[in-house]
Chain A
Amino acid sequence: MSDKPALLILGDSHAIALRQGADMLGLAAEELQFSGAGWHDQRFALGENGLEVRGIPRAAGQLRALREKLGVVDVFASGIPVLTTVGFHLGRLVPPFGWNGHQVQEEDAPGITEGLTASRAFTQDYVQHYRRRHFRLLRRLARLTPLIVVVPPRVHDRPNYDSFQRIITEDLRGLGLTVYDPADDLAGEDGFLPEDLMAEDGIHATAECGAMMIEAMRGRGLLPA
């Protein structure tokens, strides 16, 4: 086995900031990333060799290269800490939920006066339907290696995003997984990621923000200092 990285980063486009942050901190990190659409569409499977990517040649190639580089078949069972953004992919999950005008009534939000509402129980079932396999993958990985699920940064207040993020976070914690929410350390007074930590696209975090997240996780003892 060649030089062992300090971190493995697994996920969608939100994982990029983590990877860039690791680079900024001089941490040796390796990654497997593909789009939120691919994750949402469940282009992955758990096989004898651990995580497999299905139908995304670029990502499958990335995984093959990683196996060769690390000299192991099951990359995510090698004991290297894994930071992952798998399980959220809100950009694919939340908009369709609102196509017919549904919103989730949150206890701390004003009463919804227009459109339709969906109950929290329904929304939890909806999330489970689309994320059950992702949660199973994460549980499996967490049994094999230290794993931290990183919540995507809160960057806007579009309807239902907070509700879905909260439900998924609660589900993951309910499964005994370690979840890090950058809002706990980096959010401004308004609860959103400050603009200077946001990438130009207004959706993702910057490399600096990625580094700050890793430092924060270290500070909380979630990652080795």
Chain B
Amino acid sequence: MGEKSDNPYRHLPAKAFWRTGVAEAGLFGLSQLWSSAWTLPADAQFATFGSCFAQHISRALISRKMNWLNAEPAPGRTPPELAQKYNYGVFSARTGNIYTAAQLLLWARLASGAAGTDSIEYWTDEKGLVHDMLRPKIEPQGFVSRKEAEASVASTARAFARCITEADVLVFTLGLTEGWINTATGQSYSICPGTGVGTFDEGVHAFHNYTYPEILRDLEAALAIMWQMNPDLHVLLTVSPVPLVATASGDHVLVATQYSKSVLRAVAGDMARSHAQVDYFPSYEIIAAPSSRATFFEPNMRAIAHDGVDLVMRHFFAGLDLSAPSRRAGAAPDAGRAAAEAQMQAEELVCEEMLLETFNER
């Protein structure tokens, strides 16, 4: 009887047990947290969207000189401080933070043409400047007119569509379950109207804490639209570990945060399990699980320290499988830019020759 009976756990790897996988490994010894579900081309293009934590993924991809798709870059020769002021280069299109699955669905509908720019709510401030309530802080001052605001939303929708059709992987970071909606139009806001942009109207603006079924439904609908546009698109879901800054749920913000993250985590996990083209990357766990002992939270216990982001991204890159052949080898340089440069040079030559000829005449 000295021999132990066989059972499924006896054949599991070390990572399956807390003692060997976490306690003995230690925070910086964690391994095999994630391995990509897909074999991607070496030059795979990544598009990044979602809550503010998604910005870290954009930056990490850029710093590694990987193919981060910037479908809505700033105009050429924009100085970095100006690009930052106008929120260029933060996400793959100038969507601003997409906190909820409902907002992602709206962007997918805009990108596919199922929704028009007139379906977005616009707010005019006391200076007459216009703000679109889907990206209320995308412009530091606002747009000069409704026409310009709509043109900008359309521009971003086209860029978002490019991300869907051209990216190999769309990384989406789920951020919030809580949000505000317009009960008359159904518009989902990224921030509560009246908190900086918009005017709060309690008769129209209602708090909504999206439930698991609602988030799952919206995410499924958003991805269905995207896959219609690009059946090969892979979607990598993450959950932001950044706690709520405030809750309108009536619960303590700590409890509301745990609820929100738990629901998002569950939806992301189930989406990954039910679709071969969806995967989940555990950035939330790396930062927020007991193994980190809250090491990576700044003193306000909300902001994520740079070291934490680094660790997240190390696991991300360690788990990526980019062993498939490149698909874009020898891609031609931007023809439009080359033509514009050539035209500029030609005109400059004309101007220089004119000046020299003037000297020749005198």
Asked if A78 is an interface residue, CB under 8 A from chain B, the answer is: no
Question: Which residues of chain B in 316-362 are interfacial with respect to chain A, using CB atoms and an 8 Å cutoff?
Answer: 334, 336-337, 340-341, 343-344, 347-348, 350-352, 354-355, 358-359
Asked if B155 is an interface residue, CB under 8 A from chain A, the answer is: yes
> Assuming A35-B352, A91-B348, A129-B82, is B72 touching A116 (CB within 8 A)?
yes
Q: How far is the CA of A112 from the CA of B147 in the complex (A)?
A: 10
Report chain A residues within 8 Å CB of B213: none
Contact with A along B72-83 (1 / 0, CB 8 A): 111111110010
Q: How far is the CA of A61 from the CA of B145 in the complex (A)?
A: 49
Asked if B109 is an interface residue, CB under 8 A from chain A, the answer is: no
In chain A, what residue has the closest Cβ to B138? A119
Report chain A residues within 8 Å CB of B343: 95
Q: How far is the CA of A105 from the CA of B77 in the complex (A)?
A: 19
Do the beta carbons of B76 and A97 come within 8 Å of each other?
A: yes
Report chain B residues within 8 Å CB of A19: 358
Do the beta carbons of B85 and A125 come within 8 Å of each other?
A: yes
> Assuming A95-B343, A112-B154, is B72 touching A37 (CB within 8 A)?
no
Mostly, the B contact residues are helix
State the Cβ distance, A100 to closest chain B Cβ, in Å: 5
Selected contact of A116 from candidates B140, B159, B348, CB within 8 Å? B159
Q: How far is the CA of A35 from the CA of B350 in the complex (A)?
A: 10
In chain A, what residue has the closest Cβ to B129? A121
Report chain A residues within 8 Å CB of B270: none
State the Cβ distance, A69 to closest chain B Cβ, in Å: 13
Report chain A residues within 8 Å CB of B218: none
Asked if B125 is an interface residue, CB under 8 A from chain A, the answer is: no
Q: How far is the CA of A85 from the CA of B337 in the complex (A)?
A: 27
State the Cβ distance, B55 to closest chain A Cβ, in Å: 20
Report chain A residues within 8 Å CB of B351: 12-13, 35-37, 91, 203-204
Do the beta carbons of A97 and B75 come within 8 Å of each other?
A: yes
Do the beta carbons of B348 and A35 come within 8 Å of each other?
A: yes
Asked if A118 is an interface residue, CB under 8 A from chain B, the answer is: yes
Do the beta carbons of B151 and A105 come within 8 Å of each other?
A: yes
State the Cβ distance, B282 to closest chain A Cβ, in Å: 35
Report chain B residues within 8 Å CB of A57: none
Asked if B86 is an interface residue, CB under 8 A from chain A, the answer is: yes
Selected contact of B334 from candidates A34, A99, A121, A122, CB within 8 Å? A99
Question: Which residues of chain A in 26-81 are interfacial with respect to chain B, using CB atoms and an 8 Å cutoff?
Answer: 33-37, 58
Report chain A residues within 8 Å CB of B143: 119-121
Do the beta carbons of B147 and A111 come within 8 Å of each other?
A: yes
Do the beta carbons of A113 and B147 come within 8 Å of each other?
A: no
Report chain A residues within 8 Å CB of B341: 95
Question: Which residues of chain A in 86-131 are interfacial with respect to chain B, using CB atoms and an 8 Å cutoff?
Answer: 91-92, 95-102, 105, 107, 111-122, 125-126, 129
Asked if A201 is an interface residue, CB under 8 A from chain B, the answer is: yes
Selected contact of A96 from candidates B75, B148, B347, CB within 8 Å? B75
Do the beta carbons of A119 and B144 come within 8 Å of each other?
A: yes
> Assuming A34-B355, A100-B74, is B140 touching A121 (CB within 8 A)?
yes
Of listed B75, B76, B145, B359, residue having the most chain A CB within 10 A: B75
Asked if A141 is an interface residue, CB under 8 A from chain B, the answer is: no
Asked if A16 is an interface residue, CB under 8 A from chain B, the answer is: yes
Q: How far is the CA of A95 from the CA of B76 in the complex (A)?
A: 8
State the Cβ distance, B244 to closest chain A Cβ, in Å: 31
In chain A, what residue has the closest Cβ to B145? A107
Do the beta carbons of A112 and B155 come within 8 Å of each other?
A: yes
Asked if B158 is an interface residue, CB under 8 A from chain A, the answer is: yes
Do the beta carbons of B354 and A99 come within 8 Å of each other?
A: no
Report chain A residues within 8 Å CB of B31: none
B residues within 8 Å of A by Cβ? Answer: 72-79, 82, 85-86, 139-145, 147-148, 150-152, 154-155, 158-159, 334, 336-337, 340-341, 343-344, 347-348, 350-352, 354-355, 358-359
Pairs across A and B, CB under 8 Å, 7 listed:
A107-B147, A111-B147, A120-B148, A122-B75, A125-B82, A125-B85, A203-B347
18 further A-B pairs in the complex, CB-CB below 8 A; given A201-B354, A203-B351: A13-B351, A13-B352, A95-B344, A98-B75, A99-B336, A100-B75, A100-B337, A101-B336, A102-B75, A107-B144, A112-B155, A116-B72, A119-B152, A120-B148, A121-B140, A126-B75, A129-B79, A204-B351
Q: Top 8 closest A-B pairs, CB basis?
A: A99-B76, A13-B351, A96-B76, A105-B151, A117-B155, A96-B77, A95-B340, A102-B75
